[in-house]
Structure 1
């Protein structure tokens, strides 16, 4: 029998027919300074900006990023087609910049991990956690937890420019996690 879902109280095992085709497209985080955040996400994490959408009447911009992978389809050059393509992808990160926040010392964002807790983190998978740790050190990235620290080994947490936590894992090391 093929796998469908782990079963717990509240889990609906059979996917409702009306949800066929639903896809998790993106998660959003607010950023204070787009130049600083984009430098981190593109230069340190290797992501690329698929699309920027400006909403002048509402004074904000959205930046949609992904981690390019081998074999991934190529985004269209036409901005309209690329917008449609972007909203059909999986696992994107949306960075939302409210204009002027970069100049306002009162603006900061809750990381979700201090009280009151809420949003926790995003996660990046890497092919080699040791190499990633060295790369982050070379680039002055702040570690919240290194892979050899604490009870949960082989998992790291770093901090982005706005204080959000990013979990970093090497999938091959996680075979025994939760057993």
Structure 2
């Protein structure tokens, strides 16, 4: 019998429960301090599109759902709010930003980025057509780097920081195989 996995690792289950057919990995949620600053970063610096905003006045928070859409994909999104909500929650790979109202006024508020001790969450990742061009643009825009492609042992990836301190891996898919091969032996 052929494995349903492309690689082997301890703990993999070979039998996919038919009940999981249709499951879609939909979102990763990050808490944000100031939506104006963070939404500017994700829409201007990383080109994402806000596809849905949900306000919860009784609980004093808002959710912003962003997608990396090509310009031609915009035509596939409904102007009808209810239908766009269904589209939002059925699409893979969304970024959900959670804003607790008034948090931008709390000078002492910071969110754990997952990379400081104790470590936990690590990063989100963006594939770019050209790593060098993207990093040059990030420099021009004053984006904070955690790691540049030329730093460290893995020279084919970069890490930048968003306004809340979360790490974002930036990579060019075509450069990954050769970059990883020199570390795998």
TM-score interval w.r.t. the shorter chain?
A: over 0.9
Change (3 A) 1:123 1:2: farther
Runs of 4+ in 1 over 6 A off after TM superposition: none
The structure with the greater share of residues assigned to helix is 2
Identify the residue that residue 39 of structure 1 maps to in structure 2: 40
Identify the residue that residue 114 of structure 1 maps to in structure 2: 116
Deviation, structure 1 residue 27: 0.3
Question: Pairwise mapping of residues 11-50 of structure 1 onto structure 2 (< 5 A)?
Answer: 11-50=12-51
After superposition, the C-alpha distances for 1:14-37 in whole angstroms (9 at most, x for unaligned) are 211111111100000000000000
TM (norm. structure 1) is 0.95
1:13, 1:27 → 2: CA distance?
26
1:60, 1:4 → 2: CA distance?
41
Question: Pairwise mapping of residues 73-112 of structure 1 onto structure 2 (< 5 A)?
Answer: 74-112=76-114
State the Cα RMSD in Å.
Answer: 1.6
Unaligned runs of 5+ in 2: none
Query: Which SS does the other structure have where 1:172 is aligned?
Result: helix
CA contact (8 A) 1:123 1:167 kept: yes
Unaligned runs of 5+ in 1: none
CA contact (8 A) 2:161 2:167 kept: yes
TM (norm. structure 2) is 0.92
Identify the residue that residue 4 of structure 2 maps to in structure 1: 4
